[in-house]
Structure 1
Amino acid sequence: MSTGTVLPSPIPRIEGERPPGQSSAPMRKTASAPAATSRTIRSAYTPSLMRPVFAREWPARKAGRRSGLSFRKDEGQLMTVSPNGRAEGPDRQRALEVLRIEGHDLRSPLANIRSYASMILARRDGLDPRIRRAAEIIVKNADRGLRLIDEWMDFLRSSYARLELSRTTCPIPAIARMALADEQQDFDQKGVRVETEFDESIPPVEIDPARVRQAIAALLTAARRRAPEGSTIYLRTRRAGDRIRIEVEDNGPRPSREEADLFYDAEFQMLAHRRMEPGLEMALARAVAEAHGGKAGAEPVEGGAIHHLELPLST
């Protein structure tokens, strides 16, 4: 593939808005305005290849909400975006199809690498210890790469449509216990204790158990990152009206209200940690809650912060 100059990612702008660097003279308004139920976006650049990019500083964006995604499209082509930041109609279907192709092509090489390394490890005798160790590292890092690709694809899909769910009836406390078991080794390594308070009277609900487990694990991981060594984190499930509330409380530094709002902001968390995982994990936790008809959030409390998910009792 030929390479060329890499243009900076375009910042989508509202139709009629003055482009960066243009004079301060007022712009002529377009003859017709977009419908009140949607927003019309024009790309700031005109590359021929369409791909998702972060849309920064949307007028309707609230602090702490994940960035919407837009398309880089040819000059003169417009895209309609619904008030929740998701593409509509043919644009959305085209974007989702592009993501399916991207996900397949990104996963395939890593999956093949992992398969061949696993074949090496399957040998029962005569394998040099150094080769075995190298193959184990290959498998471990391939698994991490595949997980990041899956999370990145899910994150992008969640900006075009709600995540797909495989629902089954499950008790939330049991899912919370499994999520804690997934993260227990990391808590032990840091010397952080986790105390649980589960309301066993909560009736089983129809959820996607794998995605909810992943979302709870993300909250636990975020709390562990903030918690000092030797401290205690609290994992709770309780009923809150017609919803189930899952809470993870840490005793790290007390954030401001604005800082707590950014706990689920993918871009902010990636930049703060200089890694993809923290931003993807928290953004996906929010997307999972919203896909179930619930919500995610965080709030400062005396001596720390509470990360929480809320899921409806009935669907």
Structure 2
Amino acid sequence: MGAAQATASSARRPALGGWRDWRAWPDSLAGLWRRSLRFRTVLITLALTALAIMIACVWMALAIQNDLFQSRLQQVLADARRATVAAQTTLDASEPQGDSVQLQNLWGAVTTELGQQSTSDMIAAFRIDRTPSTIAPQDFSSVAVIDDMVSDGLRDLVQSDPEKQWWQSVAVPADAGEGEAPGIIVGQQLLVPDVGAYELYFAYDLSTASQTLGFIQGMLWVVGIVLVVLIGAISWFVLRSVTTPIGEAAQTSAKLAAGELGVRLDVHGEDELATLGRSFNAMADSLESQIKELADLSLVQQRFVSDVSHELRTPLTTIRLAADMINDQRDEFDPTTARAAELLHAQVQRFETLLADLLEISRYDAGSVQLELEATSLAHLAEDVIGSMQQVAEQHGTDVRLVAPGGYSPVDMDPRRIRRIVRNLLGNAIEHGEGRPIVVTVDSNRNAVALGVRDYGLGMRREDAERVFDRFWRADPSRRRTLGGTGLGLSIALGDARLHGGELAVWSELGRGSNFVLTLPRRSGGIPGTSPITVDPGADDLPGGEDLGLTQPIELPAEPEVAP
């Protein structure tokens, strides 16, 4: 019972959801218009076809309407003329000689003949000369309302010319007796001997022609709608046969781009699409082969770097010990030998650092780096790094200042790697800061913590800043390294930041210095929103640091802040 109820309720939900989602139809159709070539082409085809069919139907309806009207008009004019000629012949053949009785009998015979000769049952005759006469027959009207149908303009035209026929479109009583129907009234003169001319009118009902026209127009619209539907179905079928292989090619391309190098298109036939599919598969085979060759070569290179780094560590340790012993006894040597001992000791240290960086880079390339996460305060970590590099900063005459409005609450991170990032950024700032103050900023928000290192040294051009994280790259090769850098520090720092799901961004400008900002998420899954520290500092201070407004390093609170 419970399962049946659950099934029934789940069956009702889509219907209710569909009714609720009707407001989203315009957006859905707009998205379908942008994404689907088939939908867009069929819609355009249907719109243009419907427009063409509508124009054709309207033109045909107007042409048929005009032809039906003209044909019916000629019929009623001929009918009225024939009846009038027959009546006039009867009148001309009689000789009433002023006898009123004979005229009345003659008039009765004429009206009867008019009804017999004409297909109209609405006939009327009115004497033109309204002078009283004892012998003139009375006006005749088979329908009481026919007098109201005749307009003054038509009566004037009929009275003005005894030889011509005149007609006018009017509304006549419907056959059912209710409402009105389209019709034509025809008028001309009828000459009665010894009395004078009469206005003779015939009214004809055109409802039959109107019904015929309505039926034809209805059939035209039905045929037009059927044609639009058929053309739409045909277009959809034809486009489907063309766009389906294109869609499959797009999906296969996406899979290739995602790394599935083994996917291929199913090729059938010998047409252009089949040729395109075979060419695509050939291209995919070539790409797969080249990518595998490059992957194998990269793997060999990585293994070579890793093996060389490992193999060099043992002899390098021996060389390092020997260099340390020689350097410790350099005071007993002559000045030239002592200087050589110092250079040997410094370069061995630099070589050891380079070897460690190469080994770390090889781990990144091999994807074997693992984080050792600990809950760590970024602000306290920055304070420790600044304290450890205080002596180096004093040797360069640089004042390092810490501004930490946030970042005290612990965040899961690998403290060894983050400390290496901060040390690298601070070391570069000291080396290129021209002895000007360096500001280290730590801040946080609900989603992330960030650290910025701002120096006011030489700075870099924008195109140089875009390459600052490349391996072994320097903005100015003529700059000498005073801290023994290897050219891999920023590349490793970027890798460490990305390993945490964070970002490492840079801003730099010639004459204004540089600003590096490290942003780490509080939770895994990337950084939602913006960084707590802006990368571009703007025109907030001077290159010399005179307007920084800082005279003493900011002291950190003893207790960590509450996480937002």
- The TM-score normalised by the length of structure 1 is 0.62
Pairwise CA distance, 1:143: 2.6
The unaligned stretches of length 5 or more in structure 2 are: 1-251, 262-287, 525-564
Pairwise CA distance, 1:146: 1.0
Aligned residue for 2:452, secondary structure, equals strand
Pairwise CA distance, 1:256: 4.3
Provide, for residues 172-219 of structure 1, a one-character-per-residue CA deviation record: whole Å limited to 9, x for no partner.
122212322343233212211111012455321222222211111111
What is the rounded CA distance, in whole Å, between the counterparts of 1:138 and 1:166 in structure 2? 35
Contact 2:327 2:345 survives alignment (8 Å): no
Q: Are 1:262 and 2:262 an aligned pair? A: no
What is the rounded CA distance, in whole Å, between the counterparts of 1:160 and 1:277 in structure 2? 23
Which position in structure 2 is the counterpart of 1:35? 256
Q: Are 1:220 and 2:429 an aligned pair? A: no
Which position in structure 1 is the counterpart of 2:504? 296
Change over 3 Å in CA distance of 1:182–1:280 after alignment to 2: farther
Which position in structure 1 is the counterpart of 2:452? 247
Pairwise CA distance, 1:306: 0.9
Pairwise CA distance, 1:117: 4.6
What is the rounded CA distance, in whole Å, between the counterparts of 1:202 and 1:162 in structure 2? 31
Contact 1:163 1:288 survives alignment (8 Å): no
Greater helix proportion: 2
Contact 1:114 1:142 survives alignment (8 Å): yes
Q: Are 1:192 and 2:404 an aligned pair? A: no
What amino acid maps onto 2:390 in structure 1? Q
Alpha-carbon RMSD: 3.8
Which position in structure 2 is the counterpart of 1:78? 290
Change over 3 Å in CA distance of 1:160–1:213 after alignment to 2: same
Of stretches 290-299 and 191-200 in structure 1, the one that deviates more from structure 2 is 191-200
Change over 3 Å in CA distance of 1:190–1:282 after alignment to 2: same
Which position in structure 2 is the counterpart of 1:8? none
Which position in structure 2 is the counterpart of 1:150? 356
Match of 2:332 among 105, 129, 133: 129
- The TM-score normalised by the length of structure 2 is 0.37
Of stretches 159-168 and 96-105 in structure 1, the one that deviates more from structure 2 is 159-168
Pairwise CA distance, 1:121: 8.0
What amino acid maps onto 1:129 in structure 2? E
Q: How does 1:12-23 map to 2 (within 5 A)?
A: none
Q: Are 1:280 and 2:462 an aligned pair? A: no
Change over 3 Å in CA distance of 1:118–1:306 after alignment to 2: closer
Change over 3 Å in CA distance of 1:150–1:78 after alignment to 2: same
What amino acid maps onto 1:192 in structure 2? T
Contact 1:247 1:307 survives alignment (8 Å): yes
Pairwise CA distance, 1:248: 0.4
The unaligned stretches of length 5 or more in structure 1 are: 1-31, 41-75, 82-86
What amino acid maps onto 2:507 in structure 1? E
What is the rounded CA distance, in whole Å, between the counterparts of 1:310 and 1:238 in structure 2? 10
Contact 1:157 1:163 survives alignment (8 Å): yes
Contact 1:248 1:308 survives alignment (8 Å): yes
Which position in structure 1 is the counterpart of 2:518? 309
- Which structure has more relative contact order (CA 8 Å, sep 6+)? It is 1
What amino acid maps onto 1:291 in structure 2? L
Which position in structure 1 is the counterpart of 2:105? none
Aligned residue for 2:256, secondary structure, equals coil
What is the rounded CA distance, in whole Å, between the counterparts of 1:270 and 1:254 in structure 2? 9
Aligned residue for 2:438, secondary structure, equals strand
Aligned residue for 2:316, secondary structure, equals helix
Contact 2:378 2:407 survives alignment (8 Å): no
Which position in structure 1 is the counterpart of 2:377? 171
